[in-house]
Amino acid sequence: MEGQEGSQQPQLILANKLFLLTHPDVADIEKVRLRQEVLDSVIADDMSPLYETLASNSVLDLDQTVLASMRAKIDEQLKTLDEKIADAEENLGESEVREAHLAKSLFYIRIADKEKALEQLKVTESKTVAVGQKMDLVFYTLQLGFFYMDFDLISKSIEKAKKLFEEGGDWERKNRLKVYEGLYFMSTRNFKQATDLFLDSISTFTTYEIFPYDTFIFYTVLTSIISLDRVSLKQKVVDAPEILTVIGKIPHLSEFLNSLYDCQYKSFFSAFAGLTEQIKLDRYLHPHFRYYMREVRTVVYSQFLESYKSVTIEAMAKAFGVTVEFIDLELSRFIAAGKLHCKIDKVAGVLETNRPDAKNALYQATIKQGDFLLNRIQKLSRVIDL
């Protein structure tokens, strides 16, 4: 999965196409084009293990001639790589031996043979001394993890990278790791930590191998909206020069962010509707689509109600450009789930806010924890008496 700076890894582009190919909301005519592009990529890189998997899942049609041709090419290239390793071990230095083993690792990654790629990366690591080069091997493993969406592998690799950084490592690689970890947190629904890591990486972003900078800004804005308070959102996102230079290129995103901050709720809902398709068709965000939709609506409804002690349902519906029935149903669900602190007076058609008192909440929590501590002490005293 080695690529030039500024370009996304071909395997991760392929992974996105495979995701769209199995997505129910993608049009059939679009899937015809995607299927051909996937097949071309698989054949071009001799991905026989992936080809067999896709054929067994009825994503691609199995052609034994194509499969045999790919296997023959793989055997031939493996023979050449093994000869280079043997030659390096006999006639060259440790650096050349490492490079020969790395070439074999990258070959297994290219043909999408996950198990053999991980094994060969371990062999390459045993030949590696420099911390920076060991970190590069971890990045290859992380890219494999994101290709297969193997979160266990990703989590272990991130922990391994952090331990390596205790031995040293340069800032460029440390900043790259932040983006990988941020993507991992976002993919596992930890939007708060993803936001912190993404915002830390805005001015130092060089992780083009996993996604373009536009996509990075897209993720940063989406996660920030449901994670930051209004003041932090203004300082770190709305006014951030790095975001301002890119946000206009992404459909609906600028209106989505600015209309929320400017309290233009009708425009916000319009932009939100435009963004839903992008979120739904995103490989990393798709599993959290419904959750994200709820969280965004919680943020915007809470912001609107923050300004009122009481407000008519009709006024709120008008502000959002929706019907009274829709807003009534929406708020009922959010209030029942404990997401909004207000109550609906259906007869008067009024919403009354009942914001929780922070001091009172702290007092109640202290009492509760105190009771728990006393109970534990009493149980402990009985054990000691025995």
Let me know if 329 is exposed, middle or buried by CB neighbors in 10 A (0-12, 13-18, 19+): exposed
Length of the chain equals 386
| pTM for this prediction | 0.86
Q: State the Cα–Cα distance between residues 260 and 319, nearest whole angstrom.
A: 12
Question: For residue 191, how many other CB atoms are within 10 A of its CB?
Answer: 22
Q: State the Cα–Cα distance between residues 356 and 47, nearest whole angstrom.
A: 57
Find the angle CA(222)-CA(223)-CA(228) to the nearest 5 degrees.
Answer: 115
Question: For residue 272, how many other CB atoms are within 10 A of its CB?
Answer: 20
Give the pLDDT score at 1: 40
Q: State the Cα–Cα distance between residues 340 and 10, nearest whole angstrom.
A: 44
Q: State the Cα–Cα distance between residues 276 and 253, nearest whole angstrom.
A: 11
Q: State the Cα–Cα distance between residues 270 and 255, nearest whole angstrom.
A: 9
CA distances to 260, 276, 313, 322 from 330, rounded to whole Å, are 18, 18, 11, 11
Q: How do strand 342-345 and strand 350-353 relate by DSSP bridges?
A: antiparallel
The per-residue DSSP string of 54-106 comes to HHHTTSS---HHHHHHHHHHHHHHHHHHHHHHHHHHHHS-HHHHHHHHHHHHH
For 352, residues 6+ apart whose C-beta sits below 8 A from its C-beta are 309, 310, 342, 343, 345
Q: State the Cα–Cα distance between residues 177 and 358, nearest whole angstrom.
A: 37
Question: Are the beta carbons of 111 and 130 closer than 8 angstroms?
Answer: no
Question: Are the beta carbons of 32 and 96 closer than 8 angstroms?
Answer: no
As beta bridge partners, residue 344 has 351
Question: Are the beta carbons of 215 and 13 closer than 8 angstroms?
Answer: no
Find the angle CA(68)-CA(73)-CA(78) to the nearest 5 degrees.
Answer: 125
Provide the residue-wise pLDDT of the chain in tens; the chain has 386 residues. Answer: 443 346 889 999 999 999 999 999 999 999 999 999 999 999 999 999 999 999 998 888 988 999 999 999 999 999 999 999 999 888 888 889 899 999 999 999 999 999 999 999 999 999 888 888 899 999 999 999 999 999 999 999 999 998 988 877 778 888 999 999 999 999 999 999 999 999 999 988 999 999 999 999 999 999 999 999 989 999 999 999 999 999 999 999 999 999 999 989 999 989 998 899 999 999 999 999 999 999 999 999 999 988 888 889 899 989 988 888 998 898 899 888 888 888 888 888 788 887 665 556 677 778 888 888 888 888 887 777 65
Give the pLDDT score at 358: 57
Q: Which amino acid is at 153?
A: L
The per-residue DSSP string of 11-38 comes to HHHHHHHHHHHT-TTS-HHHHHHHHHHH
Ranges of each domain in the chain: 1-127
Q: State the Cα–Cα distance between residues 135 and 9, nearest whole angstrom.
A: 18
Give the pLDDT score at 369: 84
Show the tokens assigned to 266: 């009708």
Give the pLDDT score at 214: 93
Show the tokens assigned to 271: 């932009």
